[in-house]
């Protein structure tokens, strides 16, 4: 417990450390085609079996030549052509040059390319107007990726550009960690499916669709357990069914201390709660534990109980569930970079919890400005839909005045 936290609340970094200490990352792998590897986590490191590019080649359209031939007023004879995919297959002699296009292999004997704009061509000769430096305009074999080098470490999550890079190495299949199976449950008597017409006091279940969409970004298999009433027997049955199929169960609602909040009690009978109160705003009631008491290999039955307020659900998913899931999935990742910026207006804040206010970072007349959403209520989901960053206010901090420095973390694809 750090001295800035409210009593009984676990500081967020301690909550994350506790989850990472409890969780054992997945080790089972499978082989997938390169095209199917997007967003998957590499199960083994990748080394390059070839040089990329494979040969020295031209960075310009121009003429390949021997730099030593470039006397003042030099005239060189064009003895052939090297096109991308069609190399010139002889060596250059003294005074020779070869017409060459971008990407074409540098012929034997040539060590420099002069760009075509810097020569005057007459029939089969060129006059150099501006001499290149020795070695200029040549892309070296292996300068992108050299043979036998480490390209990607185990634990990298594959991006679209990574797929291109692996294709450039001729890699057709990759070893990735198996997809996690993640079950999603929402709880609450007031929640209705989107097909219903709402009666007084009823609301649509928005947390489950949000979580399912957020989880899709992680390339996990999602098991939609639907919406469960505030009934301990039904919640226990749903959690038991979910645990039988899933590595991870995420629920929303019912983790607080209200009269109809049963998730925590059910959890306690089915499994073990590691912690359930975090010094985070929004989202203080957040349960982490394991549902499967017989969990021998630590791979199954992790439980994340998220608070029901829609913004709290999203914030606790981003700040707590995402790091834990990414770690469990075998991923090596770093926290997003943050910017220190002066906030445009006053922010309400009480010491005791790290606050993740929803903000907008804009560039106006060349100046970066950050503002917080005017309504920071944990029930106002539009505040996060319209935001593009978190304004992270440290636990010990009190109210913030306009002009004070705040930490800003821009959303990336995992956050929106």
Q: Which residues bind ligand AMP (CB under 6 A)?
A: 186, 188, 190-191, 203, 205-208, 252-254, 256, 258, 261, 307-310
> Which residue number, 155 or 254, has a Cβ lying nearer to Mg ion?
254
Smallest separation (angstroms) from ligand AMP to the CB of 45? 41
> Which residue number, 10 or 311, has a Cβ lying nearer to ligand AMP?
311
Smallest separation (angstroms) from Mg ion to the CB of 304? 16
User: 35: left (phi > 0), else alpha (psi -120 to 50), else beta?
Assistant: alpha
> Among ligand AMP, Mg ion, none, what does residue 203 contact (CB within 5–8 Å per kind)?
ligand AMP
Q: Is 380 exposed, middle or buried (0-12, 13-18, 19+ CB in 10 A)?
A: middle
> Among Mg ion, ligand AMP, none, what does residue 256 contact (CB within 5–8 Å per kind)?
ligand AMP
Residues that bind Mg ion (CB under 5 A): 188, 253-254, 308
> Which residue number, 126 or 227, has a Cβ lying nearer to ligand AMP?
227
Smallest separation (angstroms) from ligand AMP to the CB of 344? 30
Question: Using CA atoms, how far apart are residues 416 and 403, in angstroms rounded to an integer?
Answer: 27
> Which residue number, 92 or 227, has a Cβ lying nearer to Mg ion?
227
> Which residue number, 56 or 230, has a Cβ lying nearer to Mg ion?
230
> Among Mg ion, ligand AMP, none, what does residue 56 contact (CB within 5–8 Å per kind)?
none
> Among ligand AMP, Mg ion, none, what does residue 247 contact (CB within 5–8 Å per kind)?
none
Residue nearest to ligand AMP (CB): 308
Please say whether the beta carbons of 104 and 148 come within 8 A: no
> Which residue number, 87 or 305, has a Cβ lying nearer to ligand AMP?
305
Smallest separation (angstroms) from ligand AMP to the CB of 384? 13
Smallest separation (angstroms) from ligand AMP to the CB of 326? 23
Instruction: Return all residues near 415 (Cβ < 8 A) that are at least 6 apart.
Output: 318, 390
Question: Using CA atoms, how far apart are residues 258 and 29, in angstroms rounded to an integer?
Answer: 43
Please say whether the beta carbons of 188 and 308 come within 8 A: yes
> Which residue number, 379 or 398, has a Cβ lying nearer to ligand AMP?
379
Smallest separation (angstroms) from ligand AMP to the CB of 212? 11
> Among Mg ion, ligand AMP, none, what does residue 142 contact (CB within 5–8 Å per kind)?
none
Smallest separation (angstroms) from Mg ion to the CB of 227? 11
Smallest separation (angstroms) from Mg ion to the CB of 144? 54
Tokens of 182: 């993640």
> Which residue number, 44 or 206, has a Cβ lying nearer to ligand AMP?
206
> Among Mg ion, ligand AMP, none, what does residue 310 contact (CB within 5–8 Å per kind)?
ligand AMP
């Amino acid at each position: 417990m750090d001295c800035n936290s409210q009593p009984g609340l676990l500081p967020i970094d301690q909550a994350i450390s506790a989850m990472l200490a409890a969780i054992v990352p997945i080790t089972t792998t499978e082989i997938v085609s390169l095209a199917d590897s997007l967003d998957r986590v590499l199960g083994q490191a990748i080394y390059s079996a070839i040089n990329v590019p494979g040969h020295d080649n031209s960075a310009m359209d121009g003429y390949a030549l021997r730099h030593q031939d470039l006397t003042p007023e030099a005239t060189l004879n064009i003895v052939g052509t090297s096109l991308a995919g069609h190399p010139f297959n002889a060596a250059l002699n003294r005074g020779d040059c070869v017409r060459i296009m971008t990407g074409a292999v540098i012929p034997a004997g040539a060590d420099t390319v002069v760009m075509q704009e810097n020569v005057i061509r007459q029939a089969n000769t060129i006059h150099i107007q501006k001499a290149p430096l020795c070695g200029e305009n040549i892309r070296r074999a292996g300068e992108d990726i050299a043979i036998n080098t480490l390209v990607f470490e185990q634990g990298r999550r594959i991006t679209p550009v990574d797929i291109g890079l692996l294709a450039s190495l001729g890699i057709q299949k990759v070893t990735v960690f198996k997809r996690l199976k993640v079950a999603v449950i929402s709880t609450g008597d007031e929640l209705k499916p989107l097909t219903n017409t709402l009666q007084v006091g009823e609301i649509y279940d928005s947390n489950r669709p949000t979580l399912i969409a957020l989880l899709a970004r992680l390339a996990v298999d999602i098991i939609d357990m639907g919406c469960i009433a505030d009934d301990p027997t039904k919640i226990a049955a749903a959690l038991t069914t979910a645990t039988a199929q899933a590595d991870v169960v995420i629920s929303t609602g019912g983790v607080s201390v209200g009269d109809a909040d049963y998730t925590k009690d059910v959890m306690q009978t089915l499994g073990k709660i590691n912690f359930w109160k975090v010094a985070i705003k929004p989202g203080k009631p957040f349960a982490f534990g394991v549902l499967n008491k017989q969990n021998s290999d630590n791979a199954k039955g992790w439980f994340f109980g998220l608070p029901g307020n829609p913004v709290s659900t999203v914030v606790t998913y981003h700040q707590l569930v995402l790091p834990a899931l990414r770690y469990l999935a075998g991923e090596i990742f770093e926290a997003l970079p943050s910017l220190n910026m002066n906030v445009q207006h006053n922010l309400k804040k009480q010491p005791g919890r790290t606050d993740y206010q929803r903000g907008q970072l804009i560039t106006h007349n060349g100046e970066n400005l950050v503002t917080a959403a005017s309504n920071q209520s944990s029930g106002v989901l539009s505040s996060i839909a319209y935001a593009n960053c978190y304004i992270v206010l440290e636990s010990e901090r009190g109210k913030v005045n306009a002009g004070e420095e705040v930490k800003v973390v821009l959303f990336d694809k995992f956050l929106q």
